[in-house]
Amino acid sequence: MSKHKTTIYRINSDTVKFQCLKDSKALSHLLHFEFNSFVRVIENASYEEFSIPKKKGGKRVIEVPNEYLMYIQKSLNRDLQAVYYKIKPHNVYGFVQAVKSEPRVHTVITNAQNHIGKSYVLNIDLKDFFHSITAIQVRAFFQSNRFNFSEDLATCLALICCWKSRLPMGAATSPVVSNLLCLGMDESLATLANQYNLTYSRYADDLTFSSYINISEDIITEIREIITDKGFCVNEKKFRLQSKYRQQTVTGIKVNQKTNVDRRYIRKIRAVLNDIKWNGIEKAAMKHYALKVADEKAKNTLILSMTGKINFVGQVKGKSDLVYNKLRQQLACIN
């Protein structure tokens, strides 16, 4: 049997095992966790909370579970990802776990490619995406026709996945659970898009619609109504309709004629590289992370960050692109 078939068989197997669960004891067995310890971990769940700065101001609260709960969540995530892979809509690109021996097709780049060369691109961001999904919704979802789990099992899953009665930012299960809870919304929005000859895609909390004709206010109202009806809220600060006469971006990638990187993104990379070149990595890290002293961790983090951003430029523009190769050479001189 080929690797490809083995991988698909594993996914089918995991899907069947999870969907056949009867109670929380069976769940603990599936996750390879002794039942009494499993119950204690869930009943005594704890998280470490800290804040990180957002790109455009403000702070994002990150909630990281304790070691044992994190283990349970990571194990559960593998099973939930296998389930989602079998039922995922074709227009969802974020938080989809790649399958071995298959091309990586769920990226910000493949998401953006759906909208290349369109006359109008509508970007909608969902406000407080994870935190807007409640424990009550998660439990109800696992009790719905999608799974038909018992109240005991659905409650157990909600307790594993939620903190302070909502999906936490930092739990291994939050991304896939958010995708599962968005199934109804994705189906409704895809139906509406087909009705009006629009292209629809979603990457996490970024929803994009595009068309060769104007997207009317009436259509936008219908889109808003579906989002609201499914329990989400539009982030008005990031709501924008872009025509072909202006720069059109989808998940940070230009799509007017082909996928490309925003010039401002390139300028920011160059600015940091020049700062490192002329002032040294320590001072650059202090400035970049607003630190009084930059230790080795901060300096290494900055280099890794620049490496990741430059690699992203290469993925979007192509490995033979002159801009990408010049940035890569600048980074190599620093190292």
Question: What digits encode the pLDDT tens for the residues 298-324?
Answer: 999 999 999 999 999 999 999 999 999
Give counts: helices (H), strands (E), the chain. Answer: 14, 9
**Element at 122 (helix H, strand E):** strand 120-125
pTM for this model (two decimals): 0.87
CA 119-124-125 angle, to 5 degrees, is 150
Tokens for 8, please give them. Answer: 């698909």
Question: What digits encode the pLDDT tens for the residues 113-154?
Answer: 999 999 999 999 999 999 999 999 999 999 999 999 999 999
The tokens 């490309």 sit on which residue? 260
Cα 248 to chain centroid distance, Å, stands at 21
CA 314-52-185 angle, to 5 degrees, is 70
CB 173 within 8 A of CB 76: yes
Rounded to whole angstroms, the Cα distance separating 54 from 61 reads: 10
Report the percent of the chain where pLDDT is more than 70. 92
Question: How high is the pLDDT of residue 57?
Answer: 64
Average pLDDT (230-235) is 96
CB 103 within 8 A of CB 109: no
State how beta strands 249-250 and 240-243 pair: unpaired
The tokens 């097709």 sit on which residue? 105
Strand ranges of the sheet holding 249-250, from the earlier edge strand across to the other edge: 249-250, 253-254, 260-261
CB 123 within 8 A of CB 249: yes
Rounded to whole angstroms, the Cα distance separating 173 from 73 reads: 6
